[in-house]
Each structure stands twice: as C-alpha cells, then as structure tokens.
Amino acid sequence: MIRFILLFLALATPAAAQVGPISFESGKALTIAPGQWTHIATPTGSEARYGGYLIIRCDRASRTVTILRPGLAPQPLAIATSALGRTVPAGGRLQANDPLLDAIAFSRGRFLVTGGGATLAIPSWPEAARSIEDCRI
C-alpha cells in the first residue's frame, strides 16, 4: 500500500519540481548538443545563446545573470560543471558574482543542464563567459 502511495506522489509531482542534482562525470559520455554560441549586446546588457537550447542573459542595471531554456516555462535547472554543481531556481536569476557563473565560464570543455527535457551537454565557449563578465563591469 505504501508503495502505491509513494508512486502516486511521484507521478503527481510536476516534472520541474523533480529536477535533481546531476554529476559532471556522468555527463562526460553525452554528445555535445548541436549548435553554436552567439553573443549580442542588448540595450540592458548582453545575451549569449547556444542554438535554441540555452540563453545566458546579463542585466547590467540589476547586476544579475539569468540562465534559461528558451521556449519553456520558467523552472528549476540543475547545472553541473567540472568544478561545481547546483540547482538554479525557476527563472534562473543569479547575482553576477555567483560562483556557479565562474564555474560555467571555466568548466572543462562543457557543462550540463537538466530541466525541461533531456540533459544537455553545452560547450564552454567564450560567449557565455563574455555575457557573465558584462554584468561585472
């Protein structure tokens, strides 16, 4: 009986609430998601985009960086880098000096993002670091 209750509760919990920690080591075997990084200046800061998969947006006025998956409702994202892993709350807004942002910028070759679909392996290219740094100057 308890198993059925636990199963029911697990199924009743929204998928976004079930985002759990991921490990960088487990993601080394993943293929890098297809796409290219682009960086553009915006009136409020800058934005780095990786294909249609990920946006890292700087808002200079508030000195915040937002990480989101475009086309999806705001939800928690689990992010794993070679140095650090953490779940970012729904909306993905972080202070510009958050250590997770440095970990993304300097991750060895890739970082992983889970939430709103399959786990993505995203390459660590300079465009992401540039958008993060735009919020620190």
Cα(100)–Cα(12) distance, integer angstroms: 31
In a domain, 99, yes or no: yes
pLDDT at position 117: 84
Residues 132, 67 contacting (CB under 8 angstroms):
no
In a domain, 10, yes or no: no
Torsion, Cα 3 7 79 24, to 10 degrees, reads: 50
Residues 113, 54 contacting (CB under 8 angstroms):
yes
**Average pLDDT value over all residues in the chain:** 87
Give the angle 67-40-131 at the CA atoms, nearest 5°: 45
In a domain, 4, yes or no: no
**pLDDT tens profile 112-128:** 999 988 899 999 999 99
Cα(33)–Cα(109) distance, integer angstroms: 13
In a domain, 61, yes or no: yes
Q: How many structural domains is the chain composed of?
A: 1
Q: Which pair of tokens denotes residue 1? A: 């009986």
**pLDDT tens profile 51-98:** 999 999 999 999 999 999 999 899 999 999 999 999 999 999 999 999
Residue 74 lies in domain = 19-134
Report the percentage of the chain scoring pLDDT > 70.
Answer: 85
Q: Which pair of tokens denotes residue 125? A: 């290219």
In a domain, 11, yes or no: no
In a domain, 2, yes or no: no
Residue 129 CB: number of other CB atoms within 10 A?
Answer: 18
Residues 14, 116 contacting (CB under 8 angstroms):
no
